[in-house]
Amino acid sequence: MNGVVFDHTALLAFGAGHQLLSGLVVQAHREHGRHLFVPALCLAGAAAQRPALGEHVGALPVLDVVELRYSGALAVGRLVKQGVDWELAHAVVLGRPGPEWPQGRPVLTETPKAYAGLGVLTIDVG
C-alpha cells in the first residue's frame, strides 16, 4: 500500500487515537514512498465535528491535504448530483484509478458500504 486516502470517518478515528491509523502515519514518517492523502472536503467534514483535528492534520507533513481543483470540483459535483454524500465524493474522486494512480488508491473508512458501486477499493478501519 504505497498510497491511501483517508475519508472523514478515518480522520475522525485517527484523531481519536485509532491504533492502525496512527501506526500508518508513524510508518509513513519513517519510510520514504508512503503517501497518505487527505481530501480537503473530507478534512472539512471531520473538522466540522472535531475542530482541533484540522490543526492536528495540518501539523503532520506526511498527511497530504489534496485541494479540490477545477476537474475535481466538477467530478465531485457530478457525484453529489447522483446522490453521493459530499463528505464521500472527494474521497471517491481521489480513490478512483487515474493517470497518476492507474490502480487507484484504497480509501480508508469506517463506512465501506457507503462506497458500494462507486468504483473505489475501500479498507474498513472500523
pLDDT in tens, 98-124: 888 999 999 999 999 999 999 999 999
Residue ranges of alpha helices (H) inside the chain are: 8-15, 19-30, 40-49, 51-58, 70-81, 86-95
Write the pLDDT tens digit of every residue in 34-45. Answer: 899 999 999 999
pLDDT, mean of residues 26-51: 91
Residue type, 8: H
Give the pLDDT of residue 29.
85
pTM as predicted:
0.93
4: confidence class by pLDDT, cuts 50, 70, 90 = very high
pLDDT, mean of residues 6-20: 94
The strand pairing partners of 4, in sequence order, are 36
The alpha-carbon radius of gyration of the chain (Å, integer) is 13
Is pLDDT above 80 for 1? no
